Structures are given as structure tokens and as C-alpha cells.
Amino acid sequence: MPDLHKVARALISVSDKTGLIDLGRALSERGIEILSTGGSAKALRDEGIAVKDVAEVTEFPEMMDGRVKTLHPRIHGGLLALRDNADHMASMQGHAIPEIDLLVVNLYPFEETVAKGADYETCIENIDIGGPAMIRAAAKNHAFVNVVTDIADYAPLLAELDANDGATSYAFRQKLALTAYARTGAYDAAVSTWMAGALGDEAPRRRAFAGEIAQTLRYGENPHQKAAFYRDGSDRPGVASAVQHQGKELSYNNINDTDAAFELVSEFLPSDGPACAIIKHANPCGVARGATLREAYQKAFDCDRTSAFGGIVALNMKLDMETAEAITEIFTEVVIAPGADDAAKEVFAKKKNLRLLTTSGLANTAEPGLAYRQVSGGFLVQDKDNGLITLDDLKVVTKKQPTEDELRDLLFAWKVAKHVKSNAIVYVKDGATVGVGAGQMSRVDSALIAAKKSERMAEALGLPEALTKGSAVASDAFFPFADGLLEAAAAGATTVIQPGGSMRDNEVIAAADEAGLAMVFTGMRHFRH
């Protein structure tokens, strides 16, 4: 098998016709015969580019509304025949099968059709059959055949042809084949995932996930780990679809933390007022609402100023100059918001290493979806935690009733606790976190750590007492014993929100009554490991 193989004939059949005319003209100018189908052939011919219809080769017309056009031995034989195999070449000659050296195919827009909310029948009609079949055939025979499935490869293809006098190298064809198999794999994954949802199959026998490269990363969580970032093709606002305006490339940890920050701040609708979340190592170190965005940032910052240094800031509305100025007073890695005005961008422009990302809006935290995690030998799949608790869902279980202000803080604390690593304890006062305990093996330790952090911040701010005094406290899961709740009471909490459901609920409720606490149960927990 020679390294270089000349391209004499190409088959082009594309759904997305971006760049088609330029590619067709460039191939024709290089003396390459073009075979094509349907709309692709018409588009090329309308621009004066010589094209031979696939139907002329197969001697069969397109039929069944275009479902059958390339599924024919004279097409697949031309893609699959080994050029250095005498029997294969004899079969081609005996059956008038032309060699096809280049296949250019992009598939029916199935993913886009699903994203638009099309009905079942429309989605089915947008499942490509002939395209994937040809792609897989050409990719298998990459020893001789080039297969291009991505518009981004048009320019490299032409450059390769020019560099090799109309031929391509084996290494180049191998790379195209790899991209091609990944594309058909992603396509099949999209179809199977959609169909599982359409049929209501929550645990299909096989699961497939796919993504498209967004960027290669300098390294992963640590410098010795290689890493890359992939998009899943959805249009969900967030770090994957955000526009980066300045600063160096995002790292693995930046992306992970920015995602955590934006998902958290998206819990707070702009209609309920400005909100800010500051994240460090995927855990919130401060979350707050305010009368202005700047006030929300300041209140979030004042929860834990030490941890906020070098953190990620997420905002629930368009970034303004005043907030930008406050943020730049300390070192911040990334700021993400649904927009930023020109004045804010000018402020950030003075901080070259600060990354500013803007999104098209907030993420819909109630939206259904899947979350998955790798384990040794497999992976776990579950629904995203989109559980929502409202005032009507709360059950008061103590003698003391929470006040209206306390109920607001309880629900605020509950939303934050959903995004804190378990065991999670979150103290909130006046619409701002004042203590966060995360990721401890004991819920008692989380309560103690959060309270201690609040005490230290009070000292730093020159306050007479910790802000946990008179606060609402949320626990992401039930208190198995009364000890954790009593630590929260000792820190000054006056009201508690927790799921309930412990076999010792009665003991915990009795302890709350004795301590003079108001407590509500949600009936829902928010473990986040």
C-alpha cells in the first residue's frame, strides 16, 4: 500500500451546504470528477460546476422520497474496494464500478431537529441512513479513500492535495477516518438518547454519550494529567456555550468551577433581584441577593473573603461597571454573567488575566437532563437534580413557626445547599450566606466549620458577633441525630430547613423545640458527592 494516493473522483452529498460551492469549485479546478446527489448536485450545477449525478452511475433513480439513492453496489463498491487487491479490481471492472477516492458527507440535521422540539415522525425522517453507511465504508477503506465529514476539514483537504500534487498521505486519511467514526458514533448516540426519552425508557440496555471538541487543555486537574473539553451539542446557557471576551485560555479546573458557579446563580431569577455566587473548588464560598448587583457581590464576598481570593464569580444579570470595579479589587479567575456592558468590559480590560465570559441567559435549572460519572469499569447515570421546593412544600414540624423573613432565608439556604458538597450545612441571614460547611464526613463537622468561618469573618469585618446569630440554616440531608442541629443552634441559628425522614426525627424535633428553634421539612434531599 503506497503512502500517497491520488484523488481522481469525489462523491459529495451534504445536508449543510456551508462552503460547498468553494469546495466543489476547488476540486473541479484540480481535475477531480465530482459525483453528487439531489440538492448538493443542483447547488453545484447552478454555480457552473461540472457534476455527474449518482443516478447515472447506479442506473437507478432516487426513490422513496430520497430514502434510497446511494445504497447501491456501484457506490459502496467504489468506496470499499481495495486498490491493491486484484480480485477487487476485477469485480469493479466487471460490474462497471467507478473508484471513489474522496467522500464528502455531512448528515441530516437530526440533533438540530430534536433541539427544535420536532414531533416524533419529523425526528424519524431526519435520521440519515445512506450517509452513515457511506461514511463507515469510506473510513474502513482509509488506506485508499478520504472521508470528510466536517466542514472544518475542507481547507486542510485542499492544502493536503496541493502539498502532494493531487494526492493525500496515509496519515492524513487515517486522521479523517478517526473523525468520521467519531461523527457517526455521536450521531448514533444522539438518535439512541432521543429515542430512549421518546419511549420513556429510563434505563435502556445500552447508553452512548458523545461530544465535539471545544478545546484541548493545557492539563487536567493536575499538570501530569492530559485533558480536553467537549461540548454536548445542546444550546443550554453556560460555560460550554459562553463567549470569552478576554483573558488566557480556561483550564480544566476553571471550566469545572465556572460551571458550578453558573448553575448555582441560575437558581436565582433576575425577576427576584440581583444575585451573585462565588465559587472555589466547585463549592460556594459566598452567595447573596442584593438591591444592586454590586451589593449582591459584596454580601457574597463578605461571607468568606479568604476563600473568594482566586475564585469564580457568577452573576444572574448583566454585569455593570460598579460591580466590575468591586470584583477587580481582588484577584479573580473568571467572571461569568448573562452579558456585560461596555463600561464593565473596559474595567476588566485592565486585568489581562481575568477571564470574562458572557452567556445568552441563565440556565434553566428545572430542565430535565442526565448526569453521568465514570467509575471503575463503567459509569453511573442519573437524572439531573432539578428538584424544586416552594413555600407550599414546606412542613413546619416544631411548635415555633418561622416568620416570613425566616422562610425567605430558609428557601435561599435550601437552594444554595443543593450546590454544596455533602455533608452540606449552609447558614443564611438577610438573603446572603454567612457560613458554608462542605464535604465533611460528619454533618456535625460541617456545622462547626461553617460557624467557625462566620466567627472569623465577623472578626475581620469588625463585627461584634458572628453573622450566624439569628440565621436560617439548611442541611442537604436529614440530621441523623440531634447533635448537628444543636451545633447550629449554638452558632445562633433560629430556624432550620432539612429533608426529614430520619428514624430519629422525633428526637431531632424535640431538641429543636427545647432549643426554641423553628424547623421545616422539605421531604426532599440534595446529596451532592
pLDDT for the residue numbered 124 = 92
Note the pLDDT of residue 89: 83
Position 262 scores a pLDDT of: 97
Choice among 39-43, 72-76, 194-198, 458-462 with the minimum mean pLDDT: 72-76
Sign of CA dihedral 349, 263, 257, 325: positive
Q: What is the mean pLDDT of residues 489-495?
A: 95
How high is the pLDDT of residue 61? 66
Burial-class residue 159 by CB neighbours within 10 Å (0-12, 13-18, 19+): exposed
Residue 347 has pLDDT above 80, yes or no: yes
> Which residue is associated with the grid cell 425577576?
271
In the block, which residue shows the cell 445562633? 492
Active site residue 281: yes
Looking at residue 345, its pLDDT comes to: 96
Burial letters for 345-382: b for 16+ Cβ neighbours within 10 Å, e otherwise?
bebbeebeebbbbbbeebbebeeeeeeeeeeeeeeeee
Q: CB burial class (10 A; 0-12, 13-18, 19+) of residue 216? A: exposed
At 150 the pLDDT is 92
CATH number of 212-358: 3.40.140.20
Superfamily of domain 4-199: Methylglyoxal synthase-like domain (3.40.50.1380)
* Domain layout of the chain by residue ranges: 4-199, 212-358, 392-521
Determine which one of 6, 17, 140, 469 is catalytic.
Answer: 140
Instruction: Check for a shared fold between 212-358 and 392-521.
Output: yes
Look up residue 473 and give its three cell numbers.
440554616
Q: What is the pLDDT of residue 59?
A: 64
Q: What is the DSSP letter of 420?
A: S
Q: What angle do CA 243, 362, 345 make, to 5 degrees?
A: 40
Report the CATH architecture of 392-521: 3-Layer(aba) Sandwich (3.40)
Q: What's this model's pTM, rounded to 2 decimal places?
A: 0.83
**How high is the pLDDT of residue 67?**
63
pLDDT top residue among 529 and 253: 253
pLDDT at residue number 64: 63
Active-site annotation holder among 6, 52, 281, 345:
281
Sequence-ordered list of residues with C-beta below 8 angstroms from that of 373, at least 6 positions apart, any chain:
379, 380
Average pLDDT over the chain reads 92
The pLDDT value given to residue 529 = 86
Whether 378 contacts 246, CB under 8 Å: no
CA 187 to mean position of chain CA atoms: 17
Q: Let me know the angle formed at the C-alpha of 55 by 49 and 56, rounded to the nearest 5 degrees.
A: 75
DSSP 290-342: -SSHHHHHHHHHTT-HHHHTTEEEEESS-B-HHHHHHHTTS-EEEEEES-B-H
How many residues in the chain? 529
Q: What is residue 393's predicted lDDT score, i.e. its pLDDT?
A: 95
Nearest 5°: CA angle at 398, between 392 and 402? 55
* Number of CB atoms found within 10 A of residue 30's CB: 14
State the pLDDT at residue 148. Answer: 96
pLDDT tens, residue by residue, 56-107: 776 666 656 666 666 677 888 889 888 888 888 888 788 888 989 999 999 8
CB atoms within 10 A of CB 499: 20
Q: How confident is the model at residue 433 (pLDDT cuts 50, 70, 90)?
A: very high
- Identify the pLDDT of residue 395: 96
**345 in catalytic set:** no
Q: List, in sequence order, every residue forming a beta bridge with 147; answer none if it has no partner.
A: 103
The predicted model gives 333-349 an average pLDDT of: 96
